[in-house]
């Protein structure tokens, strides 16, 4: 999937990311989703661009709190902070993340988590980058927190994955073509 992403032109990545954003709008509920966690896109991996979602929430729903992750490499976990464009820096892997001084958020505060994924199956099991960071995080969120994966349509796998005990499926996968799973959990 990483190779397929690298084959995309910048224009194709922008077009697909914009389509994912449009499909996100069909499931976002500002009355229900008051605190939203989303990932900051890793440009070098041609990850879906989440900046349209950030801009939309900032402009249309400024009362919705947005959280973004910071990696704790020593503990192999994600820490969560309020999003502030002016308080971002690149970590040792070249990934933009919030400064440690940014206001912290706890996993149980989130109503909606937007999860990055390389691939997924029709049961909404995901393939990430293999570190287990999001599985650990998703195991900590409240039971009523919506977990929506964001993925390019070409990430759909024909065969179902065989999840491990620690793998956490998402409720819904939003692609550039359609939704999979239940968006009305």
Q: Quick check: 148 and 170 in contact, CB under 8 A? A: yes
Greatest alpha-carbon span in the chain? 43
Boundaries of domain holding 156: 2-181
Query: What are the pLDDT digits (tens) for 35-77?
Result: 999 999 987 778 999 999 999 999 999 999 999 999 998 899 9
What confidence tens digit (pLDDT) does each residue in 139-164 have? 999 999 999 999 999 999 999 888 77
* Total count of domains within the chain: 1
d(CA 113, CA 101): 22
Compute the distance between CA of residue 3 and CA of residue 88 in angstroms, rounded to an integer. 28
Neighbours of 13 (CB within 10 A): 18
Rounded percentage of the chain residues whose pLDDT exceeds 70: 98
CATH number at residue 164: 3.40.50.10420
Q: Look at the pTM and tell me if it is higher than 0.85.
A: yes
Q: Is residue 101 within 8 Å of residue 44, measured between CB atoms?
A: no
Q: Over the range 154-178, which residues count as b (16 or more CB within 10 Å of their CB) and which as e?
A: ebbeeeebeeeeebbbbbbbbbbee
φ and ψ at 74, to 5 degrees? -65, -45
CA dihedral defined by 82, 84, 37, 79, rounded to 10 degrees?
-50
pLDDT at residue 184 is higher than 80 = no
Please write the tens of the pLDDT for every residue from 93-147.
778 999 999 999 999 999 999 999 999 999 999 988 778 899 999 999 999 999 9
> b/e string for 104-129 if b means 16 or more Cβ within 10 A?
ebebebbbbbbbbbbbbbeebbbbbe
């Amino acid at each position: 999937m990483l190779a397929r992403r690298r084959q995309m032109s910048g224009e194709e990545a922008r077009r697909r990311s914009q389509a994912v954003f449009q499909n996100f709008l069909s499931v976002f509920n500002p009355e229900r989703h008051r605190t939203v966690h989303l990932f900051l896109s890793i440009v070098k991996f041609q990850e879906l661009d989440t900046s349209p979602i950030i801009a939309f929430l900032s402009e249309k729903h400024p009362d919705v709190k947005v959280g973004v992750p910071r990696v704790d490499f020593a503990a192999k976990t994600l820490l969560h902070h309020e999003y502030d464009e002016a308080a971002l820096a690149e970590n040792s892997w070249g990934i933009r993340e919030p400064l440690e001084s940014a206001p912290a958020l706890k996993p149980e505060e989130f109503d909606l988590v937007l999860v990055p994924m390389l691939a997924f199956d029709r049961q909404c099991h995901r393939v990430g980058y293999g570190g287990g960071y999001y599985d650990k995080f998703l195991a900590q969120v409240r039971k009523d927190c919506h977990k929506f994966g964001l993925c390019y349509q070409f990430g759909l796998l024909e065969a179902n994955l065989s999840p491990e005990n620690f793998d956490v499926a998402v409720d819904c996968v939003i692609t550039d073509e359609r939704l999979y799973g239940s968006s009305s959990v």
